[in-house]
Chains A and B, each alone.
Chain A
Amino acid sequence: MADTEKIIEIQVLRYRPEQDKEPVLQSYKVPFTDDMSVLQGLQYIKDFLDGTVSFRWSCRMAICGSCGMMIDGKPKLSCKTFLREYYPQGLKVEALAHLPIERDLMVSVEDFVTKLESIKPYIIPKEPRTLEQGEYLQTPQQRDMYEQFSSCINCMLCYAACPQYGLNPKFTGPGILALMHRYNVDSRDGGQAERNELGYADEGYWGCTAVGYCSEVCPKGVDPANAINQNKMNSAINYFTRFITPGGADK
């Protein structure tokens, strides 16, 4: 074991609101083995080198969505990224871009959670059914329409990848718009009209300029850019037909 142990330099962007005016880099030398993730490197720092370093984590297996951070400038889950990929040059970890830094590697999730609640991320039944009527049936193809968009783990990597969100935090953003799409295209759902008031607004689908980086960094293959951009056509049709469809102009 001892002869395979290597040392890697991890630079951590620190921000302690009670003492730092702005974030500063702090460097740590961490012994590591090939099977250690960046998250484990940070845990080593916290346990043995500096207990004041703050970061979020929970599951260690890319499903809780807590440990997202910028690793050498790229949004990644630190539990899914290995230290060995950055050896021997070392690596720099920072809080997720475009989101306010609360402390060290932790960002504020307020905006994200508020927006998430606003899109009603649950099925609003098209037709209420009683227990006696049985379950809602769906064909495999109907399921395929939303399945990939339902894999979101709310890790916010796509927000750190989206310059439009960074430039204008009012933009609903990739992950939440993808979830909106996920429920809208579910054959059991009837909540499209309620959700699309947000989707068709300036801060909705049209805030996206198809940069596409959100889909690139998503650890779950959700492809938010696809979820958003395929709605622009519907939104445009809605915009031009709302004056001629009954009740359309009220929206």
Chain B
Amino acid sequence: MSNRRPYVRSMDGWWKRDAYFIRYMAREITAVFVALYAIVLLFGVVRLSQGEAAFNGWLQYLKTPWMLVFHVIVLAVFCYHTWSWFNIMPKTMPIMFVGGKRLQPGVITGTGLAASVIACLAVLFIVRGMS
């Protein structure tokens, strides 16, 4: 007869147990905001297909106070999203060697962040040039 009675602990509220898990959940939740903003942009494409008046109406709607507040929130969330995903990027890539030396995680994260900043600035200048 065995006296073994292994005790399995509950996982309820596991993500609140450690600050690391809270940051992980925050990173995952940013994806919801990305999806929300994609819906806003998709809606704009639909309005564009319905003619100039419809599209201008959508543009006007984006300028309402609530939508401006929404954009500020989304911008902040997107910044965290960008940082957190490039932060985990070195973990998702095969080991790489440059000039016989192993590429360090900080270089991968830094390159990703720099690329996203450059891409944002490029889009900003292109849009400025058009309007």
Flag A115-149 by CB within 8 Å of B: 1 or 0 each. Answer: 00000000000000000000000000100110000
- For window 1-38 of chain B, which residues contact chain A by CB distance below 8 Å? 3-9, 11, 14-15, 17-18, 20-21, 24, 28
- Whole-angstrom distance from the CB of B2 to the nearest CB of chain A? 10
Assembled-state Cα–Cα distance A223/B93 (Å): 12
Q: Are A22 and B7 in contact (CB under 8 A)?
A: yes
Q: State whether the Cβ of A225 lies closer than 8 Å to any Cβ in chain B.
A: yes
User: Do residues B14 and A167 form an inter-chain contact, with CB atoms below 8 A?
Assistant: yes
B20 with A216: CB separation less than 8 A: yes
Is there a chain A Cβ closer than 8 Å to B125's Cβ?
Answer: no
On chain B, the residues within 8 Å of A225 by CB distance are: 88, 91
Task: Say whether, besides A141-B97, A211-B24, A17 and B4 are in contact (CB < 8 Å).
Answer: yes
CB distance from B20 to the nearest CB of A (A): 5
| Chain B residues with CB under 8 A of A73 | 17-18
A227 to B19, CA, bound (A): 24
Known: A144-B95, A212-B91, A229-B92. A101 touches B24 (CB 8 A): no
Residues in A with CB closer than 8 Å to B112 are: none
Inter-subunit contact B6/A102 (CB<8 Å): yes
Instruction: Kindly identify which residue among B7, B28, B88 contacts A100, using a CB–CB cutoff of 8 Å.
Output: B7
CB pair B91 A226 closer than 8 Å: yes
Assign chain B's interface to a size class. Answer: 20 to 34
Contact residues in A for B92 (Cβ distance below 8 Å)? 210, 226, 229-230, 232
Question: What is the bound-complex CA distance between A98 and B8, given in angstroms?
Answer: 8
Task: Indicate if the CB atoms of A101 and B9 lie closer than 8 Å.
Answer: yes
Q: Report yes or no: B14 in contact with A213, Cβ–Cβ below 8 A.
A: no
Q: Which residues of chain A have C-beta atoms less than 8 A from B15's C-beta?
A: 163
B11 touches A163 (CB 8 A): yes
User: Which residues of chain B from 55 to 97 have a CB within 8 Å of any chain A CB?
Assistant: 88, 90-95, 97
Asked whether, in the complex, the Cβ of A230 is within 8 Å of the Cβ of B97, the reply is: no
CA distance A229 to B21 in the complex (A): 18
Nearest A residue (CB) for B87: A212
> Quick check: A166 and B7 within 8 Å, CB to CB?
no
A86, chain B: closest CB distance, angstroms: 17
A contact residues around B4 at 8 Å (CB):
17, 102
A235 within 8 A of B: no
Q: Which residue, A73, A100, A215, has most C-beta atoms of chain B within 10 A?
A: A100
Kindly list the 5 A-B residue pairs having the minimum CB-CB distance in the complex, ordered from nearest: A100-B6, A17-B5, A229-B92, A101-B7, A225-B91
Known: A101-B9, A163-B15, A211-B21. 11 other contacts (CB 8 A): A15-B7, A73-B17, A74-B18, A100-B6, A163-B14, A212-B88, A212-B91, A213-B24, A216-B20, A230-B95, A232-B92
Which residues on B are within 8 Å of A, measured CB to CB?
Answer: 3-9, 11, 14-15, 17-18, 20-21, 24, 28, 88, 90-95, 97, 100, 102
